[in-house]
């Protein structure tokens, strides 16, 4: 059949569908009134639940592992696509299957379960957070949501937001940093982007899953007040903004109770206080009971047949229903919540449709995210930007001739064409160590010319030094892999990379270090190098993004979403027993040490100077801030700051507004905005402060209250460098809901 005939047939098909659709809808509406999109999601869910048998209800509240293999080695269930989770359709009622895929950086392909399939990877969640631009997070979410939908998925297990309490946490790259406001705003927008594509987003891991060591047994110990003002506040802000269809409860215990059967978390806070209408699914292996979990608020057991001790939501739950330990009403509520989210996000009206994706456009989304989120940490004597006419560039280390490193575990995205550097150990879970196919070397060569760029692997220091000596500029790529299920033992770069950098820096005064890491690492060589760029795990557009920043085609504007400590001694917990398999893990972790003073707030309260503070990041231009003006109407506070680009290049500044409440230990971020300004240009930037960041959580009355008194408002270039405070008086009182 030639192209034209095929196109013609497709047109006839579309026309036929167009005519048939209203008729079909009318017929469906009569016998299946829940199919009427004019009704609210809640009404549709009620109508549907009322027609379901108990068996059908029980069918909806369990998913199966959607890939071949798994811990018990079962074959892939019929109808699954090769992903993390699957709930078969119920054709009698027109309920579509749930096809669930990991996750936060792009569509994962666990163990190559979909041979030959690839996807586009955003850079780390931390890179997205470091853009401080909710619209960029939205675009990234939209891009991965569309890829998911185009591969047949209608749920992405994406929306990681556990706070960074420890730079050793192996999953920090999946999250959005240490500050509840920044994380909440960024992840909320990311979720909105995903769901704009009729794919449910799953905010996770709820809650206080802030380390991987002993993640399935450790109990996070933290007071309710501190939890509400830190980890839970991040979830609260993101959920209010993004409206995710589902929440994934985490593996760990919180104050002694498993998160997936923790009534305080799931019912008292999430469903009652926040009025969350969606459903809670367990993490894979996170369900530990039937009646207790269900009555605490868990709505769906994930892949229990493979990952849990028992299939709790199968026979045990049936028995609990028969014994009256779980009410039919609660079962209806569980199903209602799942269906409600499916209706709200458009899963019935917009079923995923397999189709090719626009790889070039999607890669650009990933690239632009990193261009706005890579953080320039050091730039002595304007080492950067490099001139496009640079005579010779030595590119050294981290397989920069082939690709860029990715974080490991369930979130890993397999690029089209496969791993750029296959075979590195561990090749099994939480490996394989994956490199995205976006080589910085090629991108640099495309700017300066191929003949001027040479590569040396970093493992042979003498060779690298020789290359650096005969080059005008040396760019050392340094890396440290992290992944799900383990934490770093320390922050050291391994494989003699510190020695490599020191040796190259001695050989070439124009040495630049590009870091591909999970976050902060030790930098004993910092004073010896000209420039340092934190590129996180750079994603599918990593190569060009890094090259564009190095050569000034893009002016760096990322700001750290995490504090960069000088050493582990500065942290609330110097030791992390059991990290990386060393030593015996503790049964609990005491987060009351810092409480809600996570990250920079701990550093300020304890008068510790980090290496780089939260909010820090250099630009190729400079900005100045004028005196802020503060206007308060009740508890709504707006701060207007004159911002000027005083340098010679266009660039973007992040206006960070910090507030210190009367009697508080430390100021904290209460609002922010990023503004792009041409050289010499100035603009007044108005930032609305988030009322919850002005208030404190009162556990006696279970609400947020403004203490009342004089609040100090600061505009800072980072959390450590705050300008002169301006006082604003706020009246004491309860926050309006
Ligand atoms: C992870 C989740 C993931 C799930 C499904 C778990 O091990 O903690 O983040 O979504 O697996 O792959």
**Per-10-residue mean pLDDT for the chain, 737 residues long?**
31 36 56 96 98 98 96 95 98 98 96 94 99 99 98 98 98 98 99 99 98 98 98 98 99 98 98 98 98 98 97 98 98 99 98 97 98 99 98 98 98 97 95 97 98 97 98 98 97 98 98 98 98 99 98 98 98 96 95 98 97 98 97 96 98 98 92 98 98 96 95 97 95 91
Question: Token digits for 648?
Answer: 């010679």
State the residue for tokens 């609002």.
Answer: 671
According to the model, what pLDDT value does residue 13 have? Answer: 35
- Which residue minimizes the CA distance to atom 5 of ligand 1? 84
Å from CA of 296 to ligand 1 middle? 21
To test ligand 1's pocket by mutation, which of 80, 100, 102 has the most ligand atoms within 8 angstroms of CB? 102
3-state secondary structure 406-447: CCECCCCCCCCCCCCCCCCCCCCCCCCCCEECCCHHHHHHHH
pTM of the entire structure?
A: 0.96
- Which residue minimizes the CA distance to atom 11 of ligand 1? 284
Q: Rounded to whole angstroms, how far apart are CA atoms 569 and 660?
A: 26
The CB-side HSE value for 343 (13 A sphere, CA atoms) comes to 25
The answer to whether the beta carbons of residues 699 and 224 sit under 8 Å apart is yes
- Which residue minimizes the CA distance to atom 4 of ligand 1? 284
Q: What's the distance, CA 291 to chain centroid?
A: 32
DSSP state of 206: E
Q: Rounded to whole angstroms, how far apart are CA atoms 183 and 669?
A: 11
Q: Which helix (H) or strand (E) holds 643?
A: strand 636-645
According to the model, what pLDDT value does residue 737 have? Answer: 77
According to the model, what pLDDT value does residue 27 have? Answer: 53
Q: Rounded to whole angstroms, how far apart are CA atoms 608 and 613?
A: 10
Q: Rounded to whole angstroms, how far apart are CA atoms 518 and 433?
A: 13
Residue range 575-593, pLDDT digits in tens:
999 998 899 999 999 999 9
To test ligand 1's pocket by mutation, which of 81, 82, 84, 250 has the most ligand atoms within 8 angstroms of CB? 84
- Which residue minimizes the CA distance to atom 3 of ligand 1? 410
**Which ligand 1 atom is nearest residue 410's CA?**
12
Q: Rounded to whole angstroms, how far apart are CA atoms 550 and 470?
A: 20
Å from CA of 84 to ligand 1 middle? 8
Å from CA of 360 to ligand 1 middle? 28
Annotated catalytic residues are 283
DSSP state of 309: S
The answer to whether the beta carbons of residues 594 and 627 sit under 8 Å apart is no
Å from CA of 271 to ligand 1 middle? 23
Dihedral angle of Cα 211, 213, 218, 224, to the nearest 10 degrees = -10
Residue range 602-619, pLDDT digits in tens:
999 999 999 999 999 999
- Which residue minimizes the CA distance to atom 8 of ligand 1? 283
**What is the second-level CATH architecture of the domain 622-734?**
Sandwich (2.60)
Q: Where are the beta strands (DSSP E) in 426-563?
A: 435-436, 453-456, 473-479, 511-516, 531-534
The answer to whether the beta carbons of residues 669 and 560 sit under 8 Å apart is no
Question: Token digits for 576?
Answer: 């992390």
Q: Rounded to whole angstroms, how far apart are CA atoms 715 and 672?
A: 9
Topology of domain 374-554 in CATH is: Rossmann fold (3.40.50)
Q: Which helix (H) or strand (E) holds 48?
A: helix 41-49
According to the model, what pLDDT value does residue 26 have? Answer: 53
Å from CA of 410 to ligand 1 middle? 6
Question: Token digits for 58?
Answer: 């029980």
Task: Name beta bridge partners: 220.
Answer: 254, 589
Q: What's the distance, CA 84 to chain centroid?
A: 18
- Which residue minimizes the CA distance to atom 2 of ligand 1? 283
Q: Which of 185, 61, 172, 17 is nearest to 693 (CA)?
A: 185
**Strand pairing of 83-87 and 98-101?**
antiparallel
CA distances, 93 to each of 33, 44, 341 (Å) = 10, 12, 16
The answer to whether the beta carbons of residues 218 and 585 sit under 8 Å apart is yes
**What is the second-level CATH architecture of the domain 37-345?**
Alpha-Beta Barrel (3.20)
The answer to whether the beta carbons of residues 433 and 409 sit under 8 Å apart is no
Q: Rounded to whole angstroms, how far apart are CA atoms 375 and 534?
A: 5
State the residue for tokens 């704009």.
Answer: 196
Residues with CB under 6 A from ligand 1: 84, 102-103, 157, 204, 283-284, 410
Task: Name beta bridge partners: 714.
Answer: 658
- Which residue minimizes the CA distance to atom 7 of ligand 1? 284
**Which ligand 1 atom is nearest residue 202's CA?**
10
Å from CA of 283 to ligand 1 middle? 6
The answer to whether the beta carbons of residues 80 and 305 sit under 8 Å apart is no
**Which ligand 1 atom is nearest residue 103's CA?**
10
Å from CA of 533 to ligand 1 middle? 30
To test ligand 1's pocket by mutation, which of 215, 410, 429, 484 has the most ligand atoms within 8 angstroms of CB? 410
**Which ligand 1 atom is nearest residue 303's CA?**
5
Å from CA of 103 to ligand 1 middle? 9
The answer to whether the beta carbons of residues 687 and 657 sit under 8 Å apart is yes
Q: Which residues contact 55 (CB under 8 A, 6 or more apart)?
A: none
**Which ligand 1 atom is nearest residue 251's CA?**
8
Q: Which of 196, 195, 176, 194 is nearest to 186 (CA)?
A: 176
**Which ligand 1 atom is nearest residue 85's CA?**
5
To test ligand 1's pocket by mutation, which of 87, 302, 484 has the most ligand atoms within 8 angstroms of CB? 484
């Amino acid at each position: 059949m030639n192209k034209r005939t095929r196109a013609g047939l497709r047109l006839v098909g579309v026309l036929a569908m167009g005519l048939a659709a209203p008729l079909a809808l009318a017929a469906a509406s009569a016998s299946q009134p829940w199919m009427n999109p004019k009704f609210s999601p809640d009404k549709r869910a009620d109508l549907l639940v009322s027609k379901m048998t108990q068996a059908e209800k029980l069918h909806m509240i369990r998913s199966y592992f959607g890939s071949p293999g798994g811990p018990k080695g079962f074959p892939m269930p019929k109808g699954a696509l090769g992903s993390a989770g699957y709930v078969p359709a119920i054709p009698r009622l027109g309920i579509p299957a749930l096809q669930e895929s990991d996750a936060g950086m792009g569509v994962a392909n666990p163990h190559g379960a979909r041979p030959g399939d690839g996807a586009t990877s955003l850079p780390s969640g931390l890179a997205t957070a470091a853009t401080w631009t909710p619209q960029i997070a939205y675009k990234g979410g939209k891009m991965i949501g569309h890829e998911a939908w185009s591969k047949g998925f209608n749920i992405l297990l994406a929306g990681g937001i556990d706070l960074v309490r420890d730079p050793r946490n192996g999953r920090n790259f999946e999250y959005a940093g240490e500050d509840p406001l920044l994380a909440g705003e960024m992840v909320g927008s990311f979720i909105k982007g995903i769901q704009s594509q009729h794919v449910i987003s799953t905010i996770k891991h709820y809650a206080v899953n802030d380390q991987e060591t002993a993640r399935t047994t450790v109990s996070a110990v933290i007071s309710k007040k501190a939890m509400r003002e830190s980890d839970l506040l991040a979830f609260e802000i993101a959920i209010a903004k993004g409206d995710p269809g589902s929440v994934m409860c985490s593996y760990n215990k919180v104050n002694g109770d498993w998160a997936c059967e923790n009534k305080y978390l799931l019912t008292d806070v999430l469903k009652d206080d926040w009025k969350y209408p969606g459903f809670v699914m367990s993490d894979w292996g996170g369900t530990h009971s039937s009646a207790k979990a269900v009555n605490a608020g868990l709505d769906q057991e994930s892949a229990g047949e493979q990952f849990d001790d028992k299939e709790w939501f199968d026979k045990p739950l049936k028995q609990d229903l028969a014994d009256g330990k779980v009410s039919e009403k609660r079962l209806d509520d569980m199903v209602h919540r799942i269906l409600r989210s499916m209706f709200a996000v458009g899963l019935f009206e917009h079923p995923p449709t397999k189709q090719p994706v626009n790889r070039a456009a999607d890669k650009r989304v990933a690239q632009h995210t990193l261009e706005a989120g890579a953080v320039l940490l050091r730039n002595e004597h304007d080492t950067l930007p490099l001139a496009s006419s640079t005579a010779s560039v030595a590119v050294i280390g981290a397989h920069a001739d082939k690709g860029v490193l990715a974080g490991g575990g369930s979130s890993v995205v397999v690029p089209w064409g496969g791993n750029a550097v296959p075979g590195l150990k561990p090749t099994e879970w939480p490996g394989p160590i994956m490199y995205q196919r976006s080589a910085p070397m090629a991108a640099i060569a495309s700017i300066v010319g191929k003949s001027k760029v040479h590569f040396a692997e970093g493992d042979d220091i003498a060779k690298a030094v020789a290359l650096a000596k005969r080059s005008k500029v040396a760019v050392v790529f340094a890396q440290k892999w992290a992944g799900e299920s383990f934490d770093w033992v320390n922050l050291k770069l391994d494989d003699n990379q510190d020695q490599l950098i020191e040796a190259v820096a001695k050989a070439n005064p124009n040495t630049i270090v590009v870091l591909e890491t999970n976050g902060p690492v030790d930098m004993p060589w910092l004073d010896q190098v000209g420039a340092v760029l934190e590129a996180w795990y750079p994603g599918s557009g990593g190569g060009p993004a890094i090259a564009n920043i190095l050569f000034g085609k893009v002016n760096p504007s990322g700001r750290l979403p995490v504090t960069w400590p000088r050493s582990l001694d500065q942290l609330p917990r110097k030791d992390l027993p059991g990290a990386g398999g060393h030593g015996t893990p503790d049964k609990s972790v005491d987060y009351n040490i810092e409480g809600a003073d996570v990250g920079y707030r701990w550093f300020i309260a304890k008068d510790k100077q980090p290496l780089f503070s939260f909010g820090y990041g250099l630009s190729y231009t400079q900005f100045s801030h004028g005196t802020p003006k503060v206007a308060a109407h009740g508890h709504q506070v707006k701060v207007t700051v004159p911002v000027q680009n005083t340098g010679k290049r266009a660039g973007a500044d992040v206006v960070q507004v910090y507030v210190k409440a009367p009697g508080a230990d430390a100021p904290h971020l209460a609002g922010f905005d990023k503004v792009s300004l041409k050289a010499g240009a100035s603009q007044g930037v108005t930032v609305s402060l988030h009322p919850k960041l002005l208030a404190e959580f009162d556990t006696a009355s279970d609400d947020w209250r403004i203490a009342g008194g004089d609040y100090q408002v600061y505009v800072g270039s980072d959390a450590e460098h705050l300008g002169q405070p301006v006082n604003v008086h706020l009246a004491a009182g309860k926050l309006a809901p």
